[in-house]
Amino acid sequence: MRIRKVGIYTGKFYAGLLCVLLAGVLLGSLFYGSMSADTVRSLNSVQAGFLSVRQNLDFSKILLKTLSSSTAFLFVIFASGFCAVGQPAAAAALVLRGLGLGVVLSQMYSAYGLHGMLYSALLIAPNGLICSFALALGAREAICLSNRYAVYTLSDRQENGLRETVRLYCTKFLVLEAVLAVSAGADCLIARLTKGLVLV
């Protein structure tokens, strides 16, 4: 017998979370267009460092930067689940992640045109997509636990605790962190395979 998913665990809700992240990407693109010249120059300097690390195949730095940035967002989402009103924080983390991705993609296109789009598709998009899917899954779990805490807080009957729920919650996030680690490792492999790609 097929079990029908309802509420937060429906595909529509997960798609909605991905749309929230996509809205952040669009906002990031618009935000980049309104940046001052000094801010753009600062971002170009950061971008040059990013490209230099990849061209030099410094795998430890690539792995650390890729994993640390995604883990920071995952931690915020994880922590928001332990608050009865943490749902907005989980959604905000998705928007901010999308915002940063939108700025980076717009910057690459602005600086290198079609070559920048190709470079982004090869080096930024794969890890960006995997992290986006993982963070959206994490946000769904966080919102679910946050709702449980809200119901538990407002309920008059509190005989049963949330120990097992929290244990399962932590296990799921460990799995998501492992996915992010594998994605970061794949990012290093992609950097090696695309070493000869030069942007002009």
Q: What is the largest CA-CA distance in the chain?
A: 66
pLDDT above 50 (res 2): no
Closest CA to 53 of 63, 39, 43, 44: 63
Q: Which of the pair, 24 or 188, is modelled with greater confidence? A: 24
- Name the average pLDDT for the chain: 83
Helix, strand and coil in the chain, % to nearest 5: 85, 0, 15
Q: Give tens-digit pLDDT for 132-163.
A: 999 999 999 999 999 988 887 776 665 566 78
Predicted model pTM = 0.85
Q: Give tens-digit pLDDT for 32-71.
A: 888 777 777 777 676 666 666 666 666 777 788 888 889 9
Identify the pLDDT of residue 1: 38
